[in-house]
Amino acid sequence: MSTFFTVVQLVHHHLMLAAKPTPPAPPVTAVSLTGDGVTGWLKKNVVPLAVFVVGLGLFGRAHKGDTSGTFTRAGLLCIVFVVLAIAANATLGLNIGSWILSLFGVTSS
């Protein structure tokens, strides 16, 4: 008789679980994708490594005695790093543009 009682309890338990309403789904929220995480990761990890590798290359080039080539490459790399810094910061380019316009007497609105 105890087996029968256990089976009845088991069936009753499953029927009670099936009778419970399912909880409502969580509301759908808007997702915005930005590049802040990627830009931050690049600034934190890739840029120092690139500067280190470029420095080693310039050091090796200068060690060979090619001073003119070393200074030319160093100057071009400085320009490249400035362009990358402007590209990585959204407001820096706007501020630089406003500054250049102010040199010519043009005010930006």
Confidence of residue 5 (pLDDT cuts 50, 70, 90): low
Q: Is residue 60 part of a domain?
A: yes
pTM: 0.49
Domain that holds residue 62: 30-103
Structurally, how many domains does the chain consist of?
1
Q: Is residue 81 part of a domain?
A: yes
Over residues 65-103, the pLDDT tens digits come to 888 888 888 899 889 888 888 887 778 888 888 888 888
Which of 80-104 are b and which e, b meaning 16 or more Cβ less than 10 Å from the residue's Cβ?
eeeeeeeeeeeeeeeeeeeeeeeee
Q: Is residue 47 part of a domain?
A: yes
